[in-house]
């Protein structure tokens, strides 16, 4: 009985999400493919606006260090 109670509470407690991503859900079908309720371009646009790319930041820092060494 405990498993059923845990499962029902997990379904009721949905995580907080950004207002632009309301209704976004990801599921995996029987073939192992990801299925999303939102267009991937919309997700990418959101991520580009709100998340800094660590690789680009590291690259900029390295370039700045090289410029400082040359001076």
Assigned domain for 62 exists:
yes
- Burial of residue 46 (CB within 10 Å: 0-12, 13-18, 19+) is middle
How confident is the model over 24-48, as pLDDT tens digits? 888 999 999 999 999 889 999 999 8
Does residue 1 register a pLDDT over 70? no
Assigned domain for 53 exists:
yes
CA 23 from centre of chain: 14
Assigned domain for 65 exists:
yes
Assigned domain for 63 exists:
yes
Check: CB of residue 25 under 8 Å from CB of residue 37. Answer: yes
Better-predicted residue by pLDDT, 4 or 41: 41
Assigned domain for 2 exists:
no
Assigned domain for 46 exists:
yes
Residue-range definition of the domain harbouring residue 49: 15-70
Assigned domain for 45 exists:
yes
């Amino acid at each position: 009985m405990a498993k059923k109670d845990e499962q029902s509470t997990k379904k009721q407690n949905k995580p907080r999400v950004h207002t632009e991503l309301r209704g976004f859900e990801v599921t995996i079908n029987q073939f192992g493919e990801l299925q999303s309720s939102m267009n991937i371009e919309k997700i990418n646009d959101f991520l580009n606006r709100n998340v800094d790319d660590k690789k680009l930041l590291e690259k900029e820092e390295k370039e700045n260090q090289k410029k400082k060494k040359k001076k």
